[in-house]
Amino acid sequence: MKQKYEIREIDSWNDGSWYWNESWHIGEFKTASLNVNQPFMKTLKKLGITFPKGTVYIAYDGDILEVRNRKTDEPYFAAIPID
């Protein structure tokens, strides 16, 4: 069964940990894959969003996947399940 995800761009602030300040809907994708990382990154690339190799990673935070800065853990984008 395919799961639908909403992609949001994140504005965050750090107070010892990163907190979402605001976020904006920028797209959606569907996948039947259990590994959502690849479809998530592929959709970001289709939206024209790329990162230099080794600068980000995907963190799984509950139901939400976040693209984060590898050095600071700052979240940049999130994939949130919908439906």
In a domain, 52, yes or no: yes
Model confidence at 61, in pLDDT bands (50, 70, 90)? confident
Calculate Rg over the CA atoms of the chain: 12
In a domain, 49, yes or no: yes
Which residues lie across from 58 on neighbouring strands? 67
Q: CB–CB of 13/73 below 8 Å? A: no
Residue 68: pLDDT over 90: yes
Q: What is the pLDDT of residues 31-58, one digit of tens each?
A: 998 889 999 999 999 999 999 999 999 9
In a domain, 15, yes or no: yes
Cα(20)–Cα(75) distance, rounded to whole angstroms? Answer: 8
Residue 83: pLDDT over 80: no
SS3 state of residue 35: coil
pTM over 0.85: yes
Supply the pLDDT for residue 76: 98
SS3 state of residue 3: strand
Closest CA to 75 of 4, 26, 22: 22
In a domain, 71, yes or no: no
Number of structural domains found in the chain: 1
Residue 58 belongs to domain spanning: 3-62+76-82
